[in-house]
Structure 1
Amino acid sequence: MKRLVLLLCFPLTAMAAPANTAKLAHSLDTIIAARFKPASPGVAALIVRDGHPILRKAYGLANVELNVPLQPEHVFRIGSTTKLFTATAVMLLVDEGKLDLGAPVTRYLDAAPRHWEKVTIEHLLTHTSGIPNLSMDSGYWRTTARLDHTLEELISPVHARPFDFEPGTKFAYNNTGFNLLGMVIEKVSGTDYFAFVEQRIVKPLGLKHTRESNDKQLIPGLVTGYREGPTPAWPLANSNLHAAGGLVSTVDDLAAFMLSLQSGKIVSPASVKRMNTSHVLPNGAATGYGLGTWVRKVNGKHLVGHGGYIFNFYSQLEMDVDSGIVAVTLHNGDKFGGDNEELSRQLISAVQGSIVGI
């Protein structure tokens, strides 16, 4: 029954999965189980090929204090994987002619400082804006990030600062830039960022558990995060994450979102292609990052997606677009199972290697 429900969530197919995937599922299960102890924080994992789930399973505990086992349907904070939703929202507005990737951010934000005329929407999406990243300030995560802030308060501290580098000339990962994109989305659409994501992405795709990670509301199924020990995750006000990292989701929702995005069901195929293409700097160097998505190769195949970390959750959403493989891993602990990107690549590699035999 769970498999049938999962297939109905996926927009690409409702056909029966190949019958001889049990051996592959066992191999994937062995890879993950070797990393996570049953009595520690763990991971929910979903691996899909051609729209069919191969493995959907959880390992470890959702709550250590209460000894509650993790379930695949549990909800996790996804941190910077939110950026893929933000980039998708931007490209929706680009497709509708409401946003121009080459336009300066000052065209859309009246309060932006004059020197930001050099910064385009594309610069923000590709982390090449040169605008200082507030979350890199000394002490930010120990002090500022624990207090509630409005979106304007997340941006205004960098208004008077000079660029870290000339816009467009370097790559530097930047949460402030994506919060600026959230502000642009609100200005252009006339809708709150989270409401826009819900109305234009979440509801149309039938995603059941993707929403704002609001500290002031109960979120059914949300697991507890842990750092080393395990000890409780550091306190953090989710309002500081916003369009850069403020969503919660599940493995099912994230796989369905990725499949819909890559099939051109949310934004145009041309926009998807542009999102999936590594940005190239003026010196000819590829950054390995497109428009809101990391771009990499595994076994010669083209992988796209995004990962996230926020106290103390890790998320990884990747798709081998050449082979139709999606891997989603959501962790509620601080690397209790090792590096999440490495795990994702290991799982995708295992499925890639099985394709000929299946």
Structure 2
Amino acid sequence: MGAGLSRREFGRAAGLAGVGASGAVLLSGCSEDSVQARTAAAGKTWKVSGERGAGLGGFDSTMKSFMQARNISCGQLAVARKGKLLLARGYTWTSSSTLKTQPTSLFRIASLSKAVTGAAILRLAQEGKLNLGAPVTRLLSLTPPSGQTMDSRLKNVTVWRLLQHTGGWDRDLGFDPMYRRDSAVASALGVRIPVTKANIMKYMNGRRLDHTPGSDYAYSNYGYMLLGRIIEQVGGTGYRTYVQNKILGPRGITRMKLGRSLKMNAASGEVPYASQYNVSTVMDASGATVPAPYGGFNLENMDSHGGWLSTAADMVRFAGLFDAANPVLGSTSIGRAFGRPETGVDSSGAWYGCGWHVRNVTGGRNTWHTGGLPGTYTILVRRHDGLTWAALFNQRDDASGKNYGDIDKLLHIAANGVTSWPTTDLYGKYF
């Protein structure tokens, strides 16, 4: 699967985020001591870097138990409360003497990238450069492959519908062009691998939509790839440049950058990624078998839906854009980010806004997103009580078969266990 949640997974995750926030979750997790006993023979050691305020040891314990139970080598956590950074940690579980995750180490954040893209779209609308009700066909030059015609319903795919996953593309029906479908695109167009974003768009312009636009919620990585191209067209510059100049830069975020697929192109300070799976590469036509995180998907094509590298501290700093009106996003833009879509509110009362899952809970509103790629699992949570946290891992699968989504409720429990929040602010140290 590609970055983010499928429609089937969304309902389960929405329930977890809501229940986790209430603290009413019963767990049967393994003890830290039993985990250490099982893994001691491997000669691994637990390393922690960074800082935290007093009384937040429960977060460290949660990350330790979670990572050791799944043999995750690199993890990172940042916790903020009411505009102050209270914890910024790097965690390492390894037998390597040289590998040590820092609070400033970079991770692929997968679908947390969607919140970044959503913020950029909202900023363009705030600048008066973009009408969110505009059809994508008016904003982008869309042409189908030779001899094919476009679905007439494409004219009803608006920017709003791309943002809220109601554009009509449904990866649950078996086709996500952004993830391991490169050979199908290349074959249909008669082009060579690796395919480009323009190749993918041309190919998709010849396919029928899976749903009538606006009729159904269906998570679409492709829809967010199109949003990146709209940012380029309307913003008059590259996607990365617009995001850095208009969204990240004003928040003092300078570490974030777009990732690369191959290990030899890793960024300075980027963690290594792990998966138990090897797959055929999509980066060339060799058919070579490669580790899934390094050539099993084309990260360069995923820029606006899953391509960013970040730290956990950067992500909670970014999330602060949505706490109150500010020079980057005003109150109207923030309201739009979490607005109810025309369809897609699930049975638990959760919906998808503009790069965020949203749910009203007792006391306010929770917003969150998860991300996943081979070699990556991430979560970003904004809680109704002023808490924000981000957890990043360099793995999403292992032989244990344990659920990586469990980190959601575990971190809610850790937060609920804090009896007195510190007043320290670490933002000055890491920004």
- The TM-score range, normalised by the shorter chain, is 0.7 to 0.9
Identity %: 26
State whether residues 81 and 306 of structure 1, in contact with CA within 8 Å, keep that contact through their aligned partners in structure 2.
Answer: yes
State whether residues 46 and 57 of structure 1, in contact with CA within 8 Å, keep that contact through their aligned partners in structure 2.
Answer: yes
Alignment match of 2:108 (pick from 77, 90, 103): 77
After superposition, residues 221-240 of structure 1 pair within 5 angstroms as 221-228=269-276, 232-234=291-293, 235=295, 236-240=297-301
Alignment match of 1:200 (pick from 218, 239, 246): 246
Deviation at 1:148, TM superposition (A): 3.3
**CA distance in structure 1 between the aligned counterparts of 2:117 and 2:344, rounded to whole angstroms:** 25
Match of 1:159 in 2: 205
Is 1:120 the equivalent of 2:158? Answer: yes
Deviation at 1:226, TM superposition (A): 0.6
Match of 1:306 in 2: 369
For the structure 1 residues 122 and 224, does the alpha-carbon distance in structure 2 shift closer, same or farther, using more than 3 Å as the test? same
Match of 1:245 in 2: 306
Deviation at 1:130, TM superposition (A): 0.6
Deviation at 1:77, TM superposition (A): 0.5
Deviation at 1:296, TM superposition (A): 3.0
**CA distance in structure 2 between the aligned counterparts of 1:249 and 1:80, rounded to whole angstroms:** 12
After superposition, residues 105-184 of structure 1 pair within 5 angstroms as 105-111=136-142, 113=150, 114-131=152-169, 133=171, 136-137=174-175, 141-142=179-180, 144=182, 147-184=193-230
Match of 1:325 in 2: 387
Letter in 2 for 1:182: G
Letter in 1 for 2:267: I
For the structure 1 residues 177 and 148, does the alpha-carbon distance in structure 2 shift closer, same or farther, using more than 3 Å as the test? same
Give SS of 1:208's match: coil
State whether residues 47 and 53 of structure 1, in contact with CA within 8 Å, keep that contact through their aligned partners in structure 2.
Answer: yes
Match of 1:343 in 2: 407
Match of 1:99 in 2: 130
Give SS of 2:79's match: strand
State whether residues 135 and 176 of structure 1, in contact with CA within 8 Å, keep that contact through their aligned partners in structure 2.
Answer: no
TM-score by length of 1: 0.83
TM-score by length of 2: 0.70
Q: Which has the larger radius of gyration?
A: 2
For the structure 1 residues 118 and 205, does the alpha-carbon distance in structure 2 shift closer, same or farther, using more than 3 Å as the test? same
Match of 2:358 in 1: 295
State whether residues 178 and 302 of structure 2, in contact with CA within 8 Å, keep that contact through their aligned partners in structure 1.
Answer: no
Give SS of 1:35's match: helix
Unaligned residue ranges in structure 1 (runs of 5+): 4-16
Q: Encode CA deviations 1:79-131: one digit per residue, 9 max, x unaligned.
A: 11110011001000111121111121111113254531111111100101113
State whether residues 76 and 249 of structure 1, in contact with CA within 8 Å, keep that contact through their aligned partners in structure 2.
Answer: yes
State whether residues 41 and 64 of structure 1, in contact with CA within 8 Å, keep that contact through their aligned partners in structure 2.
Answer: no
State whether residues 130 and 172 of structure 1, in contact with CA within 8 Å, keep that contact through their aligned partners in structure 2.
Answer: yes
**CA distance in structure 2 between the aligned counterparts of 1:177 and 1:75, rounded to whole angstroms:** 26
Deviation at 1:56, TM superposition (A): 2.3
**CA distance in structure 2 between the aligned counterparts of 1:284 and 1:306, rounded to whole angstroms:** 16
State whether residues 313 and 330 of structure 1, in contact with CA within 8 Å, keep that contact through their aligned partners in structure 2.
Answer: yes
Is 1:88 the equivalent of 2:124? Answer: no
**CA distance in structure 2 between the aligned counterparts of 1:71 and 1:356, rounded to whole angstroms:** 26
After superposition, residues 45-64 of structure 1 pair within 5 angstroms as 45-61=77-93
Q: Encode CA deviations 1:119-165: one digit per residue, 9 max, x unaligned.
A: 11111001011135599438974562895332212222111211101
Deviation at 1:262, TM superposition (A): 2.6
Which deviates the most, 238-247 or 110-119? 110-119
Give SS of 2:210's match: coil
**CA distance in structure 1 between the aligned counterparts of 2:171 and 2:199, rounded to whole angstroms:** 13
Q: Encode CA deviations 1:201-235: one digit per residue, 9 max, x unaligned.
A: 12222212111113475511100111138994442
State whether residues 177 and 200 of structure 2, in contact with CA within 8 Å, keep that contact through their aligned partners in structure 1.
Answer: no
Unaligned residue ranges in structure 2 (runs of 5+): 1-49, 144-149, 187-192, 279-289, 423-431
For the structure 1 residues 215 and 356, does the alpha-carbon distance in structure 2 shift closer, same or farther, using more than 3 Å as the test? closer
**CA distance in structure 2 between the aligned counterparts of 1:257 and 1:56, rounded to whole angstroms:** 14
State whether residues 315 and 330 of structure 1, in contact with CA within 8 Å, keep that contact through their aligned partners in structure 2.
Answer: yes
Alignment match of 2:65 (pick from 31, 34, 38): 34
Letter in 1 for 2:245: Q
**CA distance in structure 2 between the aligned counterparts of 1:221 and 1:53, rounded to whole angstroms:** 21
Which deviates the most, 196-205 or 129-138? 129-138
**CA distance in structure 2 between the aligned counterparts of 1:339 and 1:284, rounded to whole angstroms:** 22
Give SS of 2:66's match: coil
